[in-house]
Amino acid sequence: MTSSSESSASDAFDDTRWTQALDDALPAANLPTLLMVLLHLTGDRGWLSERYQCSRIRGLEDNDPGGLTTEVQQEVRLAAREAVLAWKAGKAPVLPSPSHETLVEMLRTSIGEPVPASYGHMIASWLGLEADFQVDQHGAFDVPEGYRVLIIGAGVAGLCAAIRLQGAGIPYVLIEKNAEVGGTWYENRYPGAGVDTPNHIYSYSFAKHDWSRYFALQGEIQGYFEDVADRYAVRKNIRFNTCVESACYHEDTMRWTVRTTDAGGQTQELQADLVISAVGLLNVPKMPAIPGLDRFKGECFHTARWPQGLDVAGKSVAVIGNGASAMQVVPAIADQVKSLTVFQRSKQWAAPFEKFKQPVADGVRFLLREVPYYQEWYRQRLAWIFNDRIHGSLQIDPAWPHPERAINKTNDRHRAHFTDYIQAELGARQDLLPQVLPDYPPFGKRMLMDNGWYRTVARDHVTLVTGGIAEIDGDEIVTDQGERHRADVLVIATGFDAINMLSSFKLYGRGGRSVREVWDAHGAEAFMGVAMPNFPNFFMLAGPNTALGHGGSVVALLETQTNYVLNLLRQAMDRHPGRFEIEVQRERHDAYNVRVQEAHNRMIWTHKGMSNWYRNAQGRVVATTPFRNDDYWHMAQKADLGDYTVRAAGVAPPAAGASRVAMTEAGR
C-alpha cells in the first residue's frame, strides 16, 4: 500500500515533469493558437487588442510566429505558461464558452483577415463547445422494434455513420468489400500516398489522434481508422470481404433487400429499413481506353492496386497521368528507378506546402495533447486556411478583362504567385516551363500540393511526354507522334470514376427504377447531396455536389452529413413509433439543384474552356459543391423534415399534390 507521503512525492514529481515538458514545448508553439488558449483560460479580452493582432496568413502556412514582435511573442508565452499551470492546478477556464460573436473575433485575430459573422455557430461546434458534432449528442433514439440500418462501405464515411448510429442506439450492419476498414486508405498503398489536407483536420472531431507528421502518409492514416474502429467497437457489426451487388426497395414493406456476395462466392439477401451508401467518390479506378493496354509486356496496374512488395529499383517505369496520385508517386520512386517517363494529358497547378514531410515536434505534440483548447483552435485555424478562405476568389468577375488567364483580380494574383513558384522549382530547366505551366486559371481543376513534382520532372533521368498515347505495343508506349518509350513497369495514375456515382452496385428505387436510369440523362444530383426522390429510406454520404473543390476537410463534411441524416431520423422516429418511409420531396430536390447549378455558373469550374473531373459529358458540375462550407453546414443543421415526405406503415401514399403536412398527420 502506498503511503500518502509517497503519493504526494509521486504527484509532485509528475507535476514537475509536466511543467518541464510545457517549458520545453512553448518555444515551438503556434502563437496565434496560444493567444486563443489565453483568452479561454483568463477571460481577458485584452488578448484580442491591436497589440496581439496576428498578421495575415500567406499561402497555406501555419504562421507560427503570428507576425508578432519578439517581445510580444515572449509575453504571450510567459502569460500562457502562467495560465496553463493555473489550469493544471485546478483553476477553471474563465471563458469556457465564448459567444458566437466573440469566437468570430477570436478567429479574425488569430488569422489576421476577415471572417464572416455567420461562422460563429460553426466555430463553436468545431471547438466542441456546442453539441452539433458530438457523437452522443442525441442519446438513444426511440427506435422502432426490429428497425435496422445497412451501411455500404467501412471507409471514412461508413465508420462515421456506424459510430453515430451506435451512439443513437440504432442497430446496424456494415458491409465492407475489403478485409479491413479504411476504404480508399486501405486500397491506395502506392509509394508516397498520403493526405494533401493537414491530418489534424483529416480526422474525426470526436476521435483525436497524436499525429507524428503534419501531412501523414498512408500507413499512419490507415492505422488511425483501424484504431477508431477498435475504439468505438464497430467491428462486431462489420461483414468484411463482402460486396454489395444490388439494393432494391419494396414499397409494400418499406424495406430494402440488399444482395451481397462474400469472398467464397456465397450470396445472401439482407433486409434493412434504411440504407446508407458510404462508398464515396473515389472508389472505382478509372482506366484509360488505350489500345493494347491489356497486353502490356510487364507489370501494369492502377495506383489504387499497387502490388504489395513491388521493387522498382533499377527499372524503367512509365506513369500515365499527372494528377494527385501521380504527383505523389513520381517523386517518391524517382530515386529508385533507372528511368522514369511521365505521360501528361493536361498541365496542373500545384501549390507549395511548407510542412510536407515534416514531423510534428515532440513539444508541439505535447501542446496538442495536453493543453486545453490548443488542439481545438489549431484545427479551427487550419479549417479556415484550407477551407472557405479562397471561396470568394473562385467567383467569376464578368468585367475582368483577361478571362483567358484568370477569372478575377485575386485569381490573377494567385496565377502570378504560382507561376513564380513553378519557375523557381524548375531551376535551370526553364525549358520545361511551357510543358508544365497551365494555360487555364488557378483552381480551374483541383489544386494539387507539390510533393516535389517540378524538381522531379527536371531531373536528367525523368522524361515528361505531353503528347497523346496512340497504343501500347509489347513493352513500349507509342505516342500519337510515333515516339516509342520502353518500360518494365507501367503505372496507371488516371484517378477514379467520380462522375458515375453509386456505380459499384445496382440500386433500384420506387417502382424498380434504377439510379442509372435516373442519373444518366443529365448527371448525378441529390438534395443536400444525400437524398433522391423515388429512393425512400436511402441516404448517401459524399454524394453529388458535395466534394470540396475549394478546399476543406472531407471528414468534417461527412460528420455534417451524418449529423443531418441522424437529425432527420430522430424527428421521423419521434413522430412515427412504427415502421415509416422517408423520402425527399421532388420540388425541394429540384429547387435545391437549380440553386446548385446557378451558383456553379458563377464559379471557376464552369469558366469557358475549363475541363475537369468535376463535370460530366454535358458540362454539368456534379462532383463539387458551390457553397461555402459554413453555408452548407448551416443548411444541414436545420435538418428540416418539411423537405421530406414521411409516411407511416399502413398509410397509402398521398395523391399527387397532397401536402406533406396532411400526409404526416394521417400517419400519426
DSSP output for 336-366: T-SEEEEE-SS---EE--TTTTPBPPHHHHH
**SS3 at position 593:** helix
Q: What count of Cα atoms within 13 Å lies in the side-chain half-sphere of residue 161?
A: 35
Reported pTM: 0.93
Q: Does 464 share its domain with 419? A: yes
> CA 354, CA 352: separation in Å to the nearest integer?
6
Query: Which of 456, 474, 492 delimits the end of a domain?
Result: 492
**Model confidence band, residue 180 (pLDDT cutoffs 50, 70, 90):** very high
- How many independent structural domains does the chain possess? 3
Q: For residue 6, is pLDDT > 60?
A: no
For the segment 562-607, what is each residue's pLDDT rounded down to a tens digit? 999 999 999 999 998 899 999 999 999 999 999 999 999 999 999 9
**Side chain identity at residue 476, one-letter code:** E
Q: For residue 135, is pLDDT > 70?
A: no
The pLDDT score that the predictor gives to residue 668 is: 30
Kindly state the average pLDDT of the residues 84-93. Answer: 97
Q: For residue 659, is pLDDT > 80?
A: no
Kindly state the average pLDDT of the residues 239-252. Answer: 98
Query: Which of 492, 521, 555 delimits the end of a domain?
Result: 492
The pLDDT score that the predictor gives to residue 275 is: 99
Q: Does 167 share its domain with 252? A: yes
| Residue the block writes with cell 503556434 | 30
Within a domain: 143? no
Q: Does 461 share its domain with 546? A: no
Q: Does 623 share its domain with 565? A: yes
Q: Does 89 share its domain with 223? A: no
Ranked by mean pLDDT, the top range of 259-273, 508-522, 541-555 is: 259-273
> CA 197, CA 202: separation in Å to the nearest integer?
6
**Model confidence band, residue 666 (pLDDT cutoffs 50, 70, 90):** very low
Window from 109-118, 137-146, 389-398, 625-634 with minimum mean pLDDT: 137-146
The pLDDT score that the predictor gives to residue 554 is: 94
Within a domain: 4? no
Q: Does 308 share its domain with 275? A: no
The pLDDT score that the predictor gives to residue 139 is: 66
Q: Which residues pair with 247 in a beta bridge?
A: 258, 507
> CA 604, CA 393: separation in Å to the nearest integer?
9
Q: Does 488 share its domain with 508? A: no
For the segment 310-362, what is each residue's pLDDT rounded down to a tens digit? 999 999 999 999 999 999 999 999 999 999 999 999 999 999 987 888 999 99
**Model confidence band, residue 201 (pLDDT cutoffs 50, 70, 90):** very high
Query: Which of 450, 471, 492 delimits the end of a domain?
Result: 492
The pLDDT score that the predictor gives to residue 1 is: 37
**Model confidence band, residue 138 (pLDDT cutoffs 50, 70, 90):** low
Q: For residue 155, is pLDDT > 90?
A: yes
Q: For residue 657, is pLDDT > 60?
A: no
- The CATH number linked to 644 is 3.50.50.60
Q: Does 417 share its domain with 531? A: no
The pLDDT score that the predictor gives to residue 354 is: 79
> CA 452, CA 189: separation in Å to the nearest integer?
19
> CA 129, CA 120: separation in Å to the nearest integer?
11
Three state DSSP letters for 440-452: CCCCCCCCEECCC
Kindly state the average pLDDT of the residues 274-284. Answer: 92
Q: Does 46 share its domain with 154? A: no
The pLDDT score that the predictor gives to residue 463 is: 98
Q: Does 530 share its domain with 633? A: yes
Within a domain: 415? yes
Within a domain: 154? yes
Within a domain: 604? no
The pLDDT score that the predictor gives to residue 467 is: 87
Within a domain: 487? yes
Within a domain: 609? no
**Please, what is the average pLDDT of the chain?**
92
Kindly state the average pLDDT of the residues 48-74. Answer: 94
The pLDDT score that the predictor gives to residue 3 is: 43
User: What is the extent of the structural domain holding 224?
Assistant: 149-283+498-585+614-666
Kindly state the average pLDDT of the residues 159-183. Answer: 97
**% of the chain beyond a pLDDT of 90:** 84
Within a domain: 139? no
The pLDDT score that the predictor gives to residue 131 is: 66
Q: Does 252 share its domain with 172? A: yes
Q: Does 183 share its domain with 270? A: yes
Q: Which residues pair with 547 in a beta bridge?
A: 624
The grid coordinates listed for 636 are: 444541414
- Residue 13 or 192, more confident: 192
> CA 230, CA 225: separation in Å to the nearest integer?
9
Q: For residue 665, is pLDDT > 80?
A: no
CA separation (Å) from 134 to 137, 164, 207, 220, 467? 5, 9, 10, 24, 51
